[in-house]
Amino acid sequence: MAITLEQLASKLGYTETEMQKKILEIGLEVTPTIEEDMAELIISEVLGKTEKSAAEVYDSIVEGEQEKEIVKSQRKQKAGKIVKKTEFRRPERVELKRGGNSEIGEHISVKELAEKTGVSPAVLIGALMKNGILANINQVIDYETAVIITTDLGVQLKKTSASASAEDIFKGNLEKLLSEDEAEDLKPRAPVVVVMGHVDHGKTTLLDAIRNTDVAAGEAGGITQHIGAYQVDHKGRKITFMDTPGHEAFTAMRARGARVTDVAILVVAADDGIMPQTIEAINHAKEANVPIIVALNKMDKPDANANKIKSELVEYGLQSEEWGGQTIVVPISAKKREGIDALLESVLLVSDVMELKANAKRPAIATVVEAHLDTNLGPVATILVNTGHLKIGDNFIVGQTFGRVKIMRDHLKRPLKELFPSDVAQIAGLNAPVESGQILQVMANEKIARSKASQVHEMAHEELIKSAGMGMQEILVRIKEGTLKLLKVVLKADTQGSLEAIKQALAKVKNDDVAIKVIHSGVGSISESDVMMAAATPGTLVLGFNILEGSNVQRLAERLGIEVVTYKVIYELIDDLKKILTGMLQPEVLLIELGKFKVMKVFFTGKNEMVVGGKITEGVIQKRGKLRVMRDGVQIGEGNIGGLKLVNEDVEELSKGDECGLRYQGKILLQEHDVLEAWKEEKKMKTL
């Protein structure tokens, strides 16, 4: 039963006012009536008693009140009044959910924690106090604190997987979403591999050999006509393959593929060598920080020259292990299915070193690999599950739309009921078409999914308005904010000689704070692939020398907000980049000494502010300047100038010999004869 504050105070020998103060001192909330567990906690803390002793004191209060009620009832009965006797029974104690497992969010109140775990609020408050935290029943604590106080009580807590914010979904912030998983929930997952390479070097034939299906035969010219994803078993372990097109027009998809994959297989024909699209693939994988395994294909050809290819790879930072480097180079013949096992073993070896893990228990987060309209199913998407568990019937949001999983099937059109990390499937149930590269996340219900999709749609609309024609302006803003320290460039020129001359000149345009990095270069016109590479790497310019870009490239650049600039004279290109980099440099902060002010009279003293009169003995004093407070030649503090007055007029600056009033802002109390040394900070822009 509950007891009153008056009853508790009387039993402990305090007045009500004194009892209130005691309760507040131990961090609890004062209420007119006090429940059993809270009363025992107060008794224990005030009297310094054990939990058992505190319970005995509480029992004595209750028993005393029971006796009073019985006597009172008897008196009323004797007076001829029929009164039903009140029965008093001490409530049973709530047992703790020992060994239970409760999920909570990042923050939770003590009251909510008690409801979820079955531990009484008083016990939780006591545990918090033992850890130096004064709290009441409405106090909000973080997840880490909750874990500390409940572990000793035999209660296990788990953090609820946070639902993605609309902003994270819009920005494709996968890293933030995946970092929220608890370490104990992470289990090994299959590696996700992207296969890249120059057209006709055998990329599709290699994928055909790996999946042991005849895909290449139905494709014109050997060029993959779609993007897909496949999963294979190798010696009891799964490997997921991303099938990206080799044609230049689809370089954007290749860039997206590199961002969602763990390992890149670079297919190079041993009878041909490094080609332009091979270089693009290398640059994409390096920008995405994806380890590269080289599949040296067509080793069955009589003119195959492995050493020649290895030598060419060194020029692009891929030195084979046989030559003392770290790049795995596996000789294969995709056509004859030779070396495939060795290649797959290398993939598993690299993935083991990376220790790839994911949480299969949480709601799924996936990335759209490919999407299109199906004549029977409507909008469909091929997805790769990054983490979590996806099943039929799940509600989800993807980009600006939402949906409910109605159908899932693998690349052989076999129906699936559920997916786990690194699994891939084609799903149906989208409300509208989506784009590759967008994030899919499972939501609790359709209402939440619809609401978040609406928020993302609004963000996308606002971004479209903001980003229109912003290319260079956006880069300059980031430069001024100090968030861009490396300006990346895609460079194209008319001849190899011009290209090398420009690259050598750009290499000299740098200092300790900032530099230019050419992430891709080549001879020939600026292509859509060049623009898409810049789009895949924020803060990148596309520069051309003595060449033109086509109208389709211009339209794509405008749509993506990418700056494409062409030049006829090399020194103009270099000068422009110097100007950009100058804005990228952090300014030097210089301390400028202004003058000295001698305090002759103190007129007013307030909180952290004083008004004094005095004389300028050196230099000048400026409003809003900074001050050093000097007393007997020693600095005792600092402050600021809030204002200057000459007679009754506010002024901005006064010079040596002027007598004036000065409003000082600071914690030090000024005295007569103190000297105030005025100074200011001045930012000076660096130049290259």
Residue 358 has pLDDT above 70, yes or no: yes
Q: How far, rounded to the nearest angstrom, does the alpha carbon of residue 684 sit from its chain's CA centroid?
A: 34
- Residue 307 CA neighbour count, 13 Å, CB half: 0
Contact 686, 513 (CB under 8 A): yes
Q: Which of 176, 351, 352, 189 shows the shortest CA–CA distance to 262?
A: 351
Q: Of the segments 46-60, 201-215, 400-414, 484-498, which one has the largest average pLDDT value? A: 400-414
Question: Where residue 95 falls among pLDDT bands split at 50, 70, 90?
Answer: very low
Report the share of the chain in percent with pLDDT over 90.
Answer: 23
Residue 654 has pLDDT above 70, yes or no: yes
Residue 105 has pLDDT above 50, yes or no: yes
Locus of tokens 């096992």: 341
Locus of tokens 């490094």: 274
Contact 116, 104 (CB under 8 A): yes
Q: What is the mean pLDDT of residues 576-596?
A: 76
Residue 406 φ/ψ, nearest 5 degrees: -105, -40
Q: Which of 362, 356, 433 shows the shortest CA–CA distance to 400?
A: 433
Q: Which of 77, 332, 107 shows the shortest CA–CA distance to 206?
A: 332
CA 170 – CA 150 distance, rounded (Å): 37
Interior angle at CA 56, CA 54 and CA 62, nearest 5: 105
CA 296 – CA 314 distance, rounded (Å): 14
What tens digit of pLDDT does each residue of 429-451 get? Answer: 999 888 777 788 898 888 888 88
Q: What is the mean pLDDT of residues 622-647?
A: 92
Look at residue 222 in the predicted model and tell me its pLDDT: 37
Dihedral sign (CA 645, 646, 652, 656): negative
Residue 629 has pLDDT above 90, yes or no: yes
Q: What is the mean pLDDT of residues 673-681?
A: 93
Q: 219-255 burial, b for 16+ CB within 10 Å, e for fewer?
A: eeeebbeebbbbbbebeeeebbbbbbbbbbebbbbbb
User: In 3-state terms, what secondary structure has residue 574?
Assistant: helix
Tokens at 113, concatenated: 């924690």
DSSP letters, 504-525, are HHHHHS--SS-EEEEEEEEES-
Measured CA to CA in angstroms, residue 267 lies from 26, 206, 275, 296 at distances of 70, 9, 11, 6
What tens digit of pLDDT does each residue of 219-234 get? Answer: 433 333 344 677 888 8
Q: 438-472 burial, b for 16+ CB within 10 Å, e for fewer?
A: bbbbbbeeeeebbebbebbeebeeeeeeeeeeebe
Domains of the chain, first to last: 3-78 (no CATH), 101-159 (1.10.10), 190-355 (3.40.50.300), 359-467 (2.40.30.10), 471-584 (3.40.50.10050), 588-684 (2.40.30.10)
Where would I find the beta strands (DSSP E) of 210-353?
Answer: 228-234, 237-243, 263-269, 292-297, 328-331
Residue 71 has pLDDT above 50, yes or no: no
Q: How far, rounded to the nearest angstrom, does the alpha carbon of residue 45 sit from its chain's CA centroid?
A: 43
Q: How far, rounded to the nearest angstrom, does the alpha carbon of residue 406 sit from its chain's CA centroid?
A: 31
What tens digit of pLDDT does each residue of 266-317 get? Answer: 999 998 888 888 888 888 778 777 899 999 999 988 888 999 999 999 988 8
Look at residue 668 in the predicted model and tell me its pLDDT: 92
pTM for the whole structure: 0.53
Look at residue 468 in the predicted model and tell me its pLDDT: 40
- Between 292 and 368, where is the model more confident? 292
Question: Where residue 477 falls among pLDDT bands split at 50, 70, 90?
Answer: low
Residue 559 has pLDDT above 80, yes or no: no
Residue 217 has pLDDT above 50, yes or no: no
673: alpha, beta or left, given left = phi > 0 and alpha = psi -120 to 50? left
Question: Where residue 329 falls among pLDDT bands split at 50, 70, 90?
Answer: very high
CA 154 – CA 151 distance, rounded (Å): 5
Measured CA to CA in angstroms, residue 342 lies from 210, 262, 452 at distances of 12, 18, 46
218: alpha, beta or left, given left = phi > 0 and alpha = psi -120 to 50? alpha
